[in-house]
Amino acid sequence: MLLNRAGFAFVGRRIDQTVEGWQMPQGGIDDGEEVADAGLRELKEEVGTDKAVILREMDEWLCYDLPKHLLGVALRGRYRGQKQKWLAMRFTGADRDINIKTHEPEFAAWKWLPIDTLPSLIVPFKREIYSKVVAAFRDLAKPVAS
């Protein structure tokens, strides 16, 4: 969860979805890679910026399974779901530092939103995870001095 100084979260509209859905950046952890390093790498790969500091890591791993109609299609057809470790990060840059036109773009558009709106914007099979992430990081989603 990337939070700006106003306490809003970054969400992007995925390029590859047929339904309207906004999500936070996420990605895999490479073999031997630390969670924090993976989070910052994925942020750079998906959002085009590394201007962030890690505020907190969730204690628990969160898992979801893909719905049957997406098995063999989503996640490059290789996985049936994901096991995720979530980080909260504070964006230290300016909006102009965000560039979703990365080497392998994942988002067609992006915006900052209040975190309580996030579960209603994500695809249904990820809503429970987003509710847990919002609850875990709610205390961090507040304005901070510049």
SS (H, E, C) 103-133: CCCCEEEEEEECHHHHHHHCCHHHHHHHHHH
pTM for this model (two decimals)? 0.91
Greatest Cα pair distance, the chain, in angstroms, is 46
Q: Which residue has the higher pLDDT, 44 or 82?
A: 44
pLDDT, tens only, 14-42? 998 767 789 999 988 999 999 999 999 99
Domains of the chain: 2-140 (3.90.79.10)
Map residue 142 onto helix, strand or coil: coil
How far apart CA 64 and CA 47 sit, in angstroms, is: 23
Closest CA to 39 of 31, 105, 52: 52
pLDDT, tens only, 86-137? 999 999 999 999 999 999 999 999 999 999 999 999 988 899 999 999 999 9
